[in-house]
Amino acid sequence: MSNPAPFVSVVIPVYNEEENVALLYEGLKRSLADRGFGWELIFVNDGSTDNSVKVLADLAHKDTSVKYMVLTRNFGQQAALTAGMDYARGNYIVTMDCDLQDPPEIVPAMIEKAKEGYEVVFARRAFRDESFFKRATASLYYKLLEKFSDTEVYGNIGDFRLITRKVLKQLKGMREKSRYLRGMVAWLGFRHAVLDYDRPKRIHGTTGFSLLKMVRLGMSGILNFSLLPIRFGLVIGLLSIFSGTAFLAYITYDTFINNEVYQLYKWLSVITFVFIGFMFILIWILAEYVGQIYNESKNRPIYVVEQEENFDHEPEITYSEG
């Protein structure tokens, strides 16, 4: 028989965070358990190659509120978050990173904000103690997504957020494989609030979120929640056609009116190559969308669990009708 549902579930993906797991546990314990909140802490080991699993096992042995699962391989942060949320039983579900850059101290404030009637509480990074390159690229990405997305997505908001059980139920019905959770939560449209915080610098270890992974996540957000790539390709194509036509008109005018002699085949060759280049860009954009459709059609699971500890229930997964 299952134990009573906890008041709050905290879901944390783990990838090579052996130095941070225990520190984050202590911080959350002070913020939640020591203040009387009923809680469960769900760690999802996403293919770590260090001693993260051993640290998790030790914590779970000492405190049954700590639960963890081990995925068979690295499925990615978004899949790991999904796995943890599928098992979460709390009235409120908080998702956050394990690198201590999402401060546990503000989780109680997020809960208080939810008690005011908000179904979603986003934690927004008012200040980021990160490199100029990361801050600049993140700012550019969010500005593009905010401007062209069909869904309202706030800038400087990652996966540090609180959702209610009502939101989680709807989110569980969205089983697409290409996952961009911050956009999916925004797309649901529930009443939400934003809580600002200062994001500190990582203290221990190195980020497992490489530039390539950031690009992939960014592309997932754009392709899933914006028609910007198609619109961009259309605009570039129209500009290319207009420019090429205008240049050919100019050559024609200069040849017949000013008697200038042009080796027209050279210019046509250049224009042809330009058009071929833009055609390849458009084909690539369409291929990205087709690739996502292909991945969805295979209907593979979002994640595979190899081991779990301190869970006394199976995950609850619902599917949207249609």
CA-to-CA distance for 261 and 256, rounded, in angstroms? 9
Q: Could you tell me the two tokens for 59?
A: 């914590």
Q: Could you tell me the two tokens for 259?
A: 């008697």
Q: Could you tell me the two tokens for 267?
A: 């210019």
CA-to-CA distance for 103 and 127, rounded, in angstroms? 13
Among candidates 157, 186, 153, which has minimal Cα distance to 171? 186
Residue with tokens 């994001």: 199
- Per-residue pLDDT of the chain (322 residues), as tens digits, is 456 667 999 999 999 999 999 999 999 999 998 888 999 999 999 999 999 999 999 999 999 999 999 999 999 999 999 999 999 999 999 999 999 999 999 999 999 999 999 999 999 988 655 667 666 766 676 666 666 666 677 778 889 999 999 999 999 999 988 888 988 999 999 999 999 998 877 665 565 555 565 566 566 656 665 556 666 666 666 676 677 667 777 777 777 787 776 666 656 766 776 677 677 777 777 767 776 776 778 788 999 999 999 998 888 776 544 4
Q: Is 203 exposed, middle or buried (0-12, 13-18, 19+ CB in 10 A)?
A: exposed
